[in-house]
Every structure is written in structure tokens, then in C-alpha cells.
Amino acid sequence: MKNNVLIIGGGPAGIEASAQLQRLGYNVILIEKGSSLGGHLSKWDRLFPDGVHADGVLSSMLKNMSGVKSFTDTQVKSINRLDKSYNVILSNGISVLADAVLLASGFTLFRAEKKEEYGYGIYDHVITNADLEAYFSIGSDSRIDKPKKIGFVHCVGSRDEKAGCRACSKVCCATAVKQACEMKEEFPDAEVYCFYMDLRMFGRHYEDLYLKAQKEYGVRFIRGRVAEVSENADGSLQVKAEDTFSSKPLKVTLDLLVLMAGMRPSDAGRRVGDLLGMSVEEDGFFAVRDSVTSNQRSPLPGVFLAGTATGPKTLPETIADARGASMEIDRYLTDVFPQASDYKKLIREKW
Amino acid sequence: MTGLLNILCLLTVNPDSIPEVIDRIPSGYNHFVIPFLVGITFMLIWITVGLIRLLSNLTREDRIKLLLSWINPVIAWKNVRDLFCDCLFHVKIWKRKPLLGYMHSSIAFGWFMLIVLGHIEVALFVPKHLSFSEGALFYPIFYRFFVWMNPAHVALRGSFFFFLMDFFLLYVLSGIGLAVFKRFRSIVLGMRHTTKPSLADRIALYSLWLIFPLRLLAESFTADLSGGSFLTIPVNHLWHLIFGEKLWIMPVWWAYSISLGLFFVTMPFSRYMHILTEVLWILLRNAGIKPRHPRKGVAEAEIYACSSCGLCLDACPMNVQKKNLKYSSVYFIRFLRRKNEKKIDQIADKCLMCDKCHVLCPVSVDAPALRRVQRTTVNNHLPYDLSYLKAPIVQAGGSWSESLPMDSLKSGSNMESSAPEAVASDKVLYFAGCMSHLTPRIIKSVETIFKKSGVDYVFADRDGGICCGRPLMLAGKTDAAAKTIAANKEMIEKSGCKKLILSCPICYKVFKEDYHLEGIEIQHYTQFVNDLVNSGRLKPAQSSERLVYHDPCELGRGCQVYDEPRAVLGQVGELVSAAKERDESICCGGSLGSLTLDARDRAKITESSVSNLLANKPQTIVTACPLCLKTFAEAAPDSVHVKDFAEIVCSSLE
Amino acid sequence: MIYEGKQKVWSDYQKDIPDDHYFYVRSCIRQSFFPASEVTFLDITRNRLGKDIFETEHHTTCGGIAYHSDTIPQETVMTIIARQFALMAKNGYENYVCSCITSFGLYCETMETWREFPEEEARIKDILWKTCKLDFAKPKYLIHASDLVYKYRNLIAAQAKHKLINVKTGKPLKVVEHIGCHYSKMFPSKGVGGAEYPYVLVGMIEAWGGEIVDYPERRHCCGFGFRQYFIKGNRGYSLSNTYKKFESMEPFHPDLIITNCPGCPYFMDRWQYVIAESTGRTYGEEGHGIPVLTYEEVAGLVMGYDPWDLGLQTHQIDSEPLLDKMGIEYDPAQKYAGKNGKDIGSPICPTCLK
Amino acid sequence: MVDFGYGISPSSRLDLDKFDRKTFDLLVAEEPDVKKCIACGSCTAVCAAGKFVPTSLRSAILAIQNGLPDKALELLKPCQLCGKCTLVCPREINTRHLILSIIKIYSAK
């Protein structure tokens, strides 16, 4: 018989892992609390560093997982460990006997309104990176009204102990620079400012993106965290930061402020984690067996982790992580359920 | 002239027999000369006006300089030599590209001879027409038309001239032939790129091409009347075969005259102005007069002396990329002529100032100098504030004298005296310069050499000094440069050293040319090391390492230092030659000369410079300039080492 | 400005304020700056709202000014405060209401210190006994007087004779609120509405018909800053702070500024005069200043107290334009008439500020 | 006007609204490299003039972007154009021409 693998979370990690595991010959069940698969990727317009369209990426990923049993609008009701496997009851009434569980619960974006001084949800022209992506795909947003001066605030809810997150969210810098360029394309004669603490352009081609932003789009990078935002009589924003290079406080009037909300652990994930009794680290993301050699294994037998459930990751990293998790699961199941191994061998030869 | 005549008289069989030449048209005039007359008169007026304007633009001392140069035998002789070598024989082109040289000299010298001989003939046979009233202006040109030759009485003298005239006509025609051919396949004559001629150039060019074939036509048509030789007579017979007894002489002579006229009218607006301006430029150049304005005065002579032959196109290191052709000197000068300020600025700022176009120019037009003057007009007045250089300099004696012994102690030399005036005169002063501080291996090696050869030295700018001023000059900020020069000068004089050693050619050039350090010998370290080796104070061990030496622009073309470094390197390793060397060497691309050339273009130049050096598979590229060193070090393939002169000498001492 | 957004923040920062039985301590400087404010407050709570509010002549300064001017150590301050609390307990109260923001901040600071370092609390307890023979006690509720007025804003509105509405135009008055820095900037959770969008004064303004104005420098300190003012050499700094605020609020043309701190109204009122006289800049309508009132004074006006009984004549900026807008009758002749019509003297008329 | 013995002290705050885009675009047209600076400070570190006076291309570029062109000029006037900064600039900025262009454009007005 085929082994059942339950994948919790229908984002890129879950999708990729389900595709891989299905190829390996497992009976994969994918559940997603939302009404559609794709997670944050489905809400994004284009991806850094070279601006490929997110929907294209997602649809090709979905194509790879065709045939996988996936349930949307579904959550885990209860989950308890039997001798080798987990008995999971889903909110849609179905119960699954899972030989392995992959937790790909992803992240939630930091709630920008928590940084009160930025006035998200209070000032008319303050939006988040996600709002801007939505604007790019839908093409309209009442808060974006032919801005002449646009500001991007990096590290909103990242590297900020006041906001309860000491860690770097890894993707915001590149996203901000990407979005800055896109805004310049949309509004060529707008001034665009990026307020950063450190520009972490670590990945391949990221530095090129940075150079392009400066050279071709004339984006102005200011090293200093925005500390105070207020609204002028005309509804424009007065933004205060320090230009740490000239160690002087600065003030600038902006028509649009984009907050680069960081990655926080997903609440839904935490809920399932609690059901399983899984431990989280100080940063709120799930603990792994070993941060170097087995990043995809949870301390619990048969429970695996993939993607941003174990901390901020870029999309390629997430996909690679999901593949890694698939291999781990395969190894685990081969060891734990030897009798099924020849069947799987057959499937593999066939494929 | 008369002397020449006497000699020619000796050639005659019988001086007082019936004249062999009879004035066929006694009036010595025919309407067909009008086009020529118009052309020549216009041209003569034009150049006279131009000449007056040009001379009036010279400063008084420059004019005096010019006059003095003519009575100075050395310069006078140089003038004569240059006029023949550069204007008529184009020796410089001959040396590099014989075929091209032949082409230019055949037209220049050939035509010159035709004119001279024409006049001699008139002087011999119909002297009265040498007077202006008798058409001196045109008669000698159309001599063959106006005379009738008595076939029965052709003496040796006559046929001698017939022969010469035909000979030189053929000579010119051969050149024209080449010129026409060059238009289509310039590479055969050794030119990769040629200039794009302007409209005036084209008209002048085509009329020039026509002049001599038409002359052949005209003279051959009249050859049975006015005589001819091995070229014209046979052609004349040919015409008779074709057209029978009666030949229509007039149309061809008209055509000949028109082509001449047309040429002279367009000449002032075309590149062919150089034929006459060269002479003036050579006189000014040899008088040592430097341009003070990018267009006026000397510059004007220089601009019009440019034949836009396009030799600078291939010379320019920028032209490894076709897109940069437009920045070449020939176009710079063309835009100077057209007063296109925007373009002038653009081109002036691009140049690397490697000086190659200047050195290779057939008439040594110093375009880089003009570019610098142009930059000066734009940048010199820009605000600057080097007042801070005063401050340290006022008690420079103090501050430097403090630093000097300290430095020299640091330098490990066995020097005990401290005050600068007490510095023994046998001490040498080492000035590393800004760039050397970014290539510590140079400084380290130079110091090692000093120590190993027991040279007692003082390190002037161990912890950074003042810039030599050359970079400011290259940017056209001459006033600012004067400030840094003054500051350094004071420092050097206060040091009390009698010998100054420099490890940067950029510094070397400016120290040599603009510092005027009385009683202080200035040497580039390549020269100094060469002396050390010759005097046996330094004994390098020969290795089998294959070395190629790169001539830094400022050191080679800039200061003519070619042999010293090679002499030393010859004893250090096996010196192989580059594809192009010395005058022809290719700038490394890192030059401070260019203001606007961007990193990508520079990289391309470096690439070509490196491949030029690697022609004979050396193991190591050796250069003697921190800038070249840094540029090559970053660009050369890993298979070859890039070392500094001092560095390689050092390694030979272990 | 998205109002709902602000409401969300306000709802996050609520504090429970007891209904009755308060122990009241006065402010050192308010009594001399705005003598009528505290009286009015007591009158309103006692007689108009019928609450039990007790004050004792034995209470002293909290020591805040000395403390913030670095002239006395923290333990002294803590002991003084312990004594105040002890007095409260001795008189059978547990709801501590103070009139001064400096004090309020200091009380919060002290309570927090005791919470973080129990050994400190023990030490102070001991010192208190040794020095004053009083039993140590801590208030159940620590409230600022403005919290109380905020709590009763609607009751006050119910008894209102006037509203913060321009009777000529019928439009609500544009009101700027300014809370003392020490009200909630040190401990956002201790103030109504927190530090970013404090609601304590906004609540009153809304309840009484005014319209709140959010101007860019609203968070900025009034400039008092103790040391900065006390030393003449630093006064320019204090002045510049106020200047910055007024430059920033001027485009919004506010009719009135409400404050809940001793220093703020004083400096925002007097510095307007100094700015006008030294630079010629004024911020109100035709050369007038912008009236700066304490929340008690505003409450008093709303409830129909006589402006001169509220001590508005002690303000540098004349309040007549505001009174006219609100449609409050007043007798100009009585402005500088004190008790029994005795002339209290009037200030020399400034050259620039009307 | 009354003299109180103290007055309003000028603000030390940078006001980016004072940034002059028009002139900056002229500069960009002259030398686009000005946009490439990543404020690493190499130029300042090697500067030959820096030994004698405070001068910094990095700060000058910053000053211009912060709407203080005069400060930029003051920072660049001591330049000797020696070109060391060009050699060390990691973004391959044509520093000498940039310096000349800044002075040319901002001293003109």
C-alpha cells in the first residue's frame, strides 16, 4: 500500500513538496486553510531579482502537482500520534491516517499598524509592500494618487525588538528595491527614496538590481530608519529619519510611503504546532532538529518542516527547502515502512 | 636661378641658332585661363588675409620668438630640413608606411617640381612672360599651350625639359592612381580607418584627381605643336589615330584650367589647405611657440596644417572600438575649424592624452596640446581652494625638516643629520607620488634598491604628499596646478637634496617640464637604476624569465625615456618585444588624461594594450608606472605576471 | 486621516478609572500659573458631578522639578512620593489623583521602579517609617486629573451651556491637543489612548463638539524641559521647540489649544508672546495668538463658568476671540477686576502681538 | 522688536524638500556616475588633499542630494584631481570628472 503524507499549508513549499512526494510514489494529501492554493505567492505581482511574473511561476508549480488530493478552506481539527503514524481529523470531516506530516505553514506578514508611528491604516497615503503588489496586479489603489515623492521603509517589523522581532526578514531589501524600480517605471518623474538600515543584497543578481535602481532609476538610498511620520494639511506625509551618513536628522515630504512589512510566524501554523506540541524558537518560528544538517526535520518523529515555517526564506530557498523535506520524508518512510519499499521501487522504475 | 640657367645653357649645342621655341600666341593670353586665374587669385587673397589675422593673434613675444628663430642657424636649418622632409617628401609617413609615403610625396613633390620646372622653362625660352604684366601668374602653368616648338631645332636642352615634365607628370599620376585606389581599399596602403571627407573635401579631392589626367590630356593634345616627351608624344599619336588630323585643343585646356580653378577655390575650405599652412606651422612649431588658445594664433596654423590624412585614427588607442573614432584628433581639429563648441568640448575631454597621434602625425600637429588648451578655457576658471597648501608650506622647512630625518630614519638609511639645510647634497630625494601609494610594491622595491645599492635617500612623501600638479594640468586647471607645483617646489628646495628620484612618470614629466628646479637633477627611477647598474653599484642576476616592457605614455612619448629601462631589463631577464613599442606603444587605458572615458571603454583599451604586449609570449609584463601597473594587474590574464620595473629589478638582486 | 484607524489604536490603550472617592494632590506651579484651574476642577467634580474628592493641606511637592533638574537623588523623590501615598492611605483613600503631569510621570516611574526592584520598595518603606513614622502604602489606581475629566466628559457635555462650536458659522472649533510628555510617552499603557494618538484630551474635545487637529509636530515637546528653561542660556532651545510646534500647526488655523500639563500651557502661551515680540510672527487671526487653555478651563467654559473666574485674564494670549466664537458673554471691564472688584493690574500691551 | 537675551536657534535638520532636482539632472547629464555612489568612503580615505583639510567626494554627493550644494563645493574645492579616488572606487565612478562637473554646475548658479 502507498504511504499517506499529509502536507499542511498550500503555499509554494506545500505545493512543491506535494509534487515531489507524489512523484516519489506517495499518497499526498494537501490541506490549505485559505480558499485557494499559492499562499503569499498568489498575492504577489512580480518577483525579484529579475521581475518574473508570480502567477506564471505559481501556475507552473501547480501544473507539477496535478493529481495531488488537495483540500482548500480546510484546517486541522485534531491530530494525535498512533504507533507509526498520525491520525488527523480535518475541519471538513475527513480523517487522515498520515505516515508522515509536513508542516509547510509559511508566514504571515507583520501587521504594519503595530508600528503606530508610521500611521498605517491612519494616514491616507501609507501602504505596505503587499498593498503595492496588489496595486501592481489590479492597477488601482485609492491611496496611490500620482505620487511625486515616494518613500520605502525597510525593516518594518524586522530587526526591531520593539516590534517583537530581532531577526532580519531576508526578502524585504530586495523587494523594496524591486518595487522602487517598478514605481519609477510607473511614475518616471517621481522622487523615490529607500530608507534602510543595512542593504542586505546577498543573493545572486541582487547587487545588479541595486545598481540598476541607482543608475537607471535614480532611486535615492538613505541609511536611516524612519522614526516618525505625520500628515500635513494637504494630506501629504512628513517623514523624519536620520541620514546616518551625514549624522543629521532629516525631514522630507512624501506623497506615498510604502512599509516593507517583514515575515512573522503564521498563526494557523502555530495552532497546528500547538496541537502537535511542537516547540518554537525565540523568534516564534518552529524549532528544527539541527540547524545545519537537518533543517527540515522537527524534533517529533514523522513530522517535517518546509519553507518559511522555519524562518524567513526567499522563494527559491523555500522551493529547495521543500525538495529537501521531500527527500527527508522519503528516507524516513523507507526506513520506517520497509514492506512498502519494493512497491515504491516499482513505481519509480515506471516513472 | 641664373646659376641654374647657365648650367642649362651648357647643355645647348649651339646657343645662337634659330630659337627652338616660338611664342605661338604672342599676347600670352587666352580666355580659358580665366577659371584658373579666378581660383588662384581667390586663394591667394584668402591666405594672405588669413596669414595677417593669424600673426596678429600671436602675442608680441611670440612674434619676436618667430623672427629670432629665423636668424638662429640651428632652427633655420631645422626649418629647411623639415620643410623638405615633412611637406614634400613626407618622410615620417615613408618610415611607417612606404606605399602611403610614396603616394603623398609623389603628389606633393611631383606637383612641386612640375611648377618649378614650368617656371624654369619659361625663364629659359620665353623669359618676358615672367613679368606680371605678361601673365606671370598663369603663363608658366599653361606654358605648353602658348608656345610652338620647332621640331627641326629641338636641342638637348628642350628634350631634357620635355622629359622631366613628362616624368614628373607620370610620377604625380601614379600617386593620384594610388590615392584613388586608397579611397576604396585603404588597408592595402596600411590604413585600417580613413577620415570621412566633408563636402568641400570631396569637391577639392575630385578636382585634384582630375587636374593631372586633364593636364596629360591637354599637353598630349598640343604635343605635336608644343612638343612633348615619352608620355605626351605617344598619347598625342594615339589621339591622331582616334580623332584623325584635327584635334579640338581648346575644350581640354578649358577643362584643365577649370579643374585647377575649382581646386583652388575650394582649397581654403578643404583639408588641402594643409599644403600651404604646413609651411607656416613648421616655422611656428620650430620657433617653439605654444598655443594659448584652442583656435587662435598658432592653433590656427596647426588646425589648418592638418591634412586630415587620418593616420591618427589608427594611432588612437580609443579606436579599438569603432564608436570612438569620432573622438580622434582629426575630427577634433575639424570641429575646431567649424567652431562646433559642444562637439569640441566633448572630444577634448575624452582623449587619454597618450600623445600617440601627436608623435605619429606627418606634420607633428600637437592635438593633445590643443585639447589641453581647450580644457583650460572651460575648467581653469572653476573655483578651487588650495590655500591649505600654503599653511604647511610656510613653515614647510620646519614641518618637512621634522619629517625628513624621521622619514629617512624610517627609511633605514644611515643618515644622521636632521635639519634640511644640513642634508648632505649627495642625498637623493625620493618622491613616490600619489599613485605609488596605491601600489606599495613599487615603494617597497624602490626602497630596497636604494638600500642594497647603499644610496643615501630621503623619502619626501612617506605619509602622503601633495600632488605633482600634472593631473590638474591635464584637466586644464593650470592655475591650480601652479599652486601645488609651488608647494612641492618649496619642499624640494628646502630638503637640500641635489637629486630627485620619481617612481611615477606622470610626476616625472611635470617635474622635468614645469618645476624648473635649479641645480637639482631629476630622474625617473628607471634612469637612476640604469646608472646604478652601469656604475656597478647594483648587480642584477640574469634570469631566463621572458619579459616584455610596456612604455608608459608619459615616460616614453612624453619624455623620450625608452632605452634605460630596456637596458636594465636586458640584464635582468630575457627581454622580448611587443607588437608595437616605443613611439607606437599603446596606452594602458588607465590614463588620467581622459576626463570622460568610462570604465568599460577603458577596459577595452587595456585589453588591446595587453594583447599587444603578449605578442611574443612573455611570462611577465613589466611597466614603470603605478597607473599602468594597477591597470594591467587587474586586466592581464592569470597566465602572465604583471610586475613593476623596480619590483623585477629587486627580485633579481636576491 | 482615517478616523477608524485611530479608534483602533485608542481601543488598545484604555485604562480603568474608578468611579468615586479620590485623593487629590495639587501641582506646585499650576497654582501660580493658572490659579483657577484646580479650583474649577474640584468644583466640577464635587458640586457639578457630586463626587467625593479629598485633599489634605499636608501634602507637599512630589519633588519632580528638583528631580528633573538633577538637584535631588531618586531615593529622596521616592520617599516624598511614599509619604504622599501614605497620606492617601491614612485618610482612607486608594484612588490617587494628581493635577500635575510631571508628578504623574514620576509616580508611574516610581511605581514601576518598585515593581521591578522590590528591594528598593522595601528600602523606601523603611526610610519612610524612620523619617515620617508613616505606614507605607500604594494607590490602587493612579490617575491624572485629566483622566477623570475624560471619564466624565459626557456628563459634562450633558450639562454644557456652550459647545466648542463657532456660533457664527455653526462649524466645530478646530482644536489642537497637547499632552504633557510625561503623561504617556514614558509608559504608553498608563495614559488614555497611549503615546502615539493620546485620546484623553481628544475625548473631551469630541464630546464637547470640537474638531481635533492632527498637525505634524503634535508629538513634539512644548519646550519646557526643566533645565532648558531654568538656565537662561538654554532658553533659546526651549523657545525653538515651541516655535517648531507653532510653525507646524499654523497651516491648520486652530482656534484653541488644550493641554493637560503645568508647563505646556504656560510656555505655549508665553512663548507666543516672545516669538511675536522678537520675530514679529503671530499664529492666530489678525495678529492675535492661539489661546492655550488647560482642560479644566475649557471644561469650565463649556459648563458656563465666568471666563474671568476661570482666570483667563492670567493668560498672555487674550481669550476674547475664542469666547466670541463660542458665544460666551463676558464683561471686558471685569477682566482685570479681582476679588470684590479690586484691580489686579493689567499687563503692558505688547507691540506686535494683539 | 524686543531682545530677550535669547532667541530661536536655527534647525540643524536636513530638509530633503530643498533638493534641487533640475540642477541635479544637469549634473546627471554631465556625469551619470553621480547616481552610483554607495557611500563606502574609499574616496575620502585615500584623498591626497584629505591629509590637510576635510574633503570628501562621498560627503559632497550626499550634500548635493540633501540640498546643500554650497557645502558640496566647499568639500571639493581643495581637490587636487590626483585620481587616487578613481582607482579605489568600487563602483568605478569617474570621480575626477564628477568632481569637475559638480564644481562646474553648482558654482555656475
Domain that holds residue C111: 16-145
Identify whether C152 is part of a domain. no
**Position A350 confidence tier, pLDDT thresholds 50, 70, 90:** very low
Which CATH number belongs to the domain containing residue C102 in this structure?
A: 1.20.1050.140
State whether B129 and B246 are in the same domain.
yes
User: For residue A49, is the peptide bond before it cis, meaning its omega torsion is within 30 degrees of 0?
Assistant: yes
State whether B248 and B117 are in the same domain.
yes
Mean pLDDT, residues A289-312: 92
**For residue A232, how many other CB atoms are within 10 A of its CB?**
15
Burial tier of A334 (Cβ tally within 10 Å: 0-12, 13-18, 19+): middle
Q: Which residue has the cell 620665353?
A: B126
Q: Do D13 and A246 touch (CB under 8 A)?
A: no
State whether C49 and C90 are in the same domain.
yes
Residues of B whose CB is below 8 A from D92: 598-599
Domains and CATH numbers, chain A: 4-106+266-350 (3.50.50.60), 112-262 (3.50.50.60)
Question: What pLDDT was estimated at residue B384?
Answer: 94
Nearest CA of chain B to the CA of D105: how many Å?
A: 10
Position C85: which residue type?
A: F
pLDDT digits (tens, 9 = 90+) for C103-135: 999 999 999 999 999 999 999 999 999 999 999
Residue in C237, C244, C274 closest to D4 by CB: C274
Nearest CA of chain D to the CA of A188: how many Å?
A: 13
State whether B480 and B628 are in the same domain.
no
Identify whether C4 is part of a domain. no
State whether B358 and B494 are in the same domain.
no
Question: What pLDDT was estimated at residue B241?
Answer: 86
Question: What pLDDT was estimated at residue B20?
Answer: 65
**Position A154 confidence tier, pLDDT thresholds 50, 70, 90:** very high
Residue in D31, D53, D103 closest to B382 by CB: D103
d(CA C231, CA C228): 6
Chains A and D touch (3+ CB pairs under 8 A): yes
Question: What pLDDT was estimated at residue B606?
Answer: 95
**Domain count across chain B:** 4
Higher pLDDT pick, A337 / B620: B620
Any chain A CB within 8 A of the CB of C189? no
Contact A103, A305 (CB under 8 A): yes
Question: What pLDDT was estimated at residue B420?
Answer: 42
Identify whether B56 is part of a domain. yes
**Position A208 confidence tier, pLDDT thresholds 50, 70, 90:** very high
**For residue B238, how many other CB atoms are within 10 A of its CB?**
11
Question: What pLDDT was estimated at residue C294?
Answer: 95
Question: What pLDDT was estimated at residue B581?
Answer: 93
Domain that holds residue B509: 387-531
**For residue A27, how many other CB atoms are within 10 A of its CB?**
17
Residues of A whose CB is below 8 A from C5: 113, 119-122
d(CA B529, CA B533): 6
**Position C26 confidence tier, pLDDT thresholds 50, 70, 90:** very high
Nearest CA of chain C to the CA of A246: how many Å?
A: 22
Residue A41 predicted with pLDDT over 60: yes
State whether C27 and C134 are in the same domain.
yes
Q: Do D5 and C232 touch (CB under 8 A)?
A: yes
Residues of D engaging B, defined by a Cβ cutoff of 8 Å: 31, 33, 46, 48-49, 51-53, 73-74, 77-84, 87-88, 92, 94, 96-97, 100, 103-104, 107
The region, left, alpha or beta by phi > 0 then psi within -120 to 50, assigned to residue A221 is beta
**Domain count across chain C:** 2
A238 strand-pairing partners:
A230, A253
Question: What pLDDT was estimated at residue B501?
Answer: 94
State whether B173 and B210 are in the same domain.
yes
- How far is CA B174 from each of CA B86, B105, B205, B223, B336, rounded to the nearest angstrom? 20, 11, 16, 21, 33
Nearest CA of chain A to the CA of C326: how many Å?
A: 24
Q: Do A232 and C8 touch (CB under 8 A)?
A: no
State whether C247 and C309 are in the same domain.
yes
**Position A346 confidence tier, pLDDT thresholds 50, 70, 90:** very low
Question: What pLDDT was estimated at residue B654?
Answer: 72
Question: What pLDDT was estimated at residue B146?
Answer: 82
Mutation site, A229, A230, A239, interface C, largest C CB count within 10 A = A230
State whether C224 and C334 are in the same domain.
yes
Any chain A CB within 8 A of the CB of C265? no
Touching subunits of B (3+ CB pairs, under 8 Å) are D
Identify whether B286 is part of a domain. no
Contact B187, B55 (CB under 8 A): no
Mutation site, D12, D14, D18, D21, interface A, largest A CB count within 10 A = D14
State whether C247 and C308 are in the same domain.
yes
Half-sphere exposure of B350 (CA within 13 A, CB side): 20
HEC readout, B434-476: HHHCCCHHHHHHHHHHHHHCCCCEEECCCCCCCCCCHHHHHCC
Q: Which residues contact B560 (CB under 8 A, 6 or more apart)?
A: none
State whether C211 and C235 are in the same domain.
yes
DSSP of A212-275, one letter per residue? Answer: HHHHTT-PEEEES---EEEE-TTS-EEEEEEETTTTEEEEEEESEEEEEE-EEE-HHHHHHHHH
B456-486 core/surface letters (b: 16 or more CB in 10 A; e: else):
bbbbbbbebbbbbbbbbbbbbbbebbebbbb
Residue in C1, C8, C9 closest to A231 by CB: C1
State whether C165 and C282 are in the same domain.
yes
Q: Calculate the average pLDDT of chain C.
A: 92
Nearest CA of chain B to the CA of D80: how many Å?
A: 6
Residue A348 predicted with pLDDT over 80: no
**For residue B88, how many other CB atoms are within 10 A of its CB?**
17
Residues of B whose CB is below 8 A from D83: 434-435, 471, 592
Position B167: which residue type?
A: F
Mutation site, B342, B351, B372, B386, interface D, largest D CB count within 10 A = B386
d(CA A194, CA B17): 104
Question: For chain B, which residues score pLDDT lower than 50?
Answer: 1, 7, 9-15, 391-423
State whether B261 and B321 are in the same domain.
no
d(CA C190, CA C96): 14
State whether C328 and C199 are in the same domain.
yes
Nearest alpha-carbon partner for B113 in B167, B193, B188, B69 = B167
Residue in A117, A121, A232 closest to C196 by CB: A117
Gap between the terminal Cα atoms of chain D: 35
Mutation site, D11, D16, D64, D65, interface A, largest A CB count within 10 A = D16
DSSP of B381-393, one letter per residue? Answer: TS----HHHHHHH
Residue in C2, C217, C219 closest to A124 by CB: C2
**Position D44 confidence tier, pLDDT thresholds 50, 70, 90:** very high
Q: Do C275 and D8 touch (CB under 8 A)?
A: yes
Element (H, E) at B548: strand B546-550
For chain C, what percent of residues have pLDDT higher than 70?
100
d(CA C142, CA B497): 84
State whether B374 and B399 are in the same domain.
no
Mean pLDDT, residues D7-31: 93
Identify whether C352 is part of a domain. no
Residues of C whose CB is below 8 A from D8: 236, 239-240, 243, 275, 278-279
Question: What pLDDT was estimated at residue B493?
Answer: 86
Identify whether B295 is part of a domain. no
Q: Which residue has the cell 520675530?
A: C279
State whether B244 and B362 are in the same domain.
no
Element (H, E) at A64: helix A54-64
For chain A, what percent of residues have pLDDT higher than 70?
96
d(CA C148, CA C163): 20
d(CA A286, CA B434): 56
Any chain A CB within 8 A of the CB of C216? yes
Question: What pLDDT was estimated at residue C229?
Answer: 83
Among B227, B250, B274, residue at a domain's last position: B274
Interface ipTM > 0.90: no
d(CA A184, CA A189): 7
Chains C and B touch (3+ CB pairs under 8 A): no
Question: What pLDDT was estimated at residue B425?
Answer: 60
d(CA C76, CA C73): 6
Residue in C2, C194, C252 closest to A121 by CB: C2
Among B338, B361, B379, residue at a domain's last position: B379
Any chain C CB within 8 A of the CB of A227? no
Q: Which residue has the cell 587666352?
A: B30
Which CATH number belongs to the domain containing residue B444 in this structure?
A: 3.40.50
Nearest alpha-carbon partner for A87 in A152, A192, A31, A6 = A6
Q: Do D48 and B475 touch (CB under 8 A)?
A: no
Among B351, B379, B407, residue at a domain's last position: B379
pLDDT digits (tens, 9 = 90+) for C321-342: 999 999 999 999 888 888 888 8
State whether C200 and C331 are in the same domain.
yes
Please give the backbone phi and psi of residue C176, each rounded to the nearest 5 degrees, phi first.
Answer: -100, 130
State whether B198 and B224 are in the same domain.
yes
**Position A323 confidence tier, pLDDT thresholds 50, 70, 90:** very high
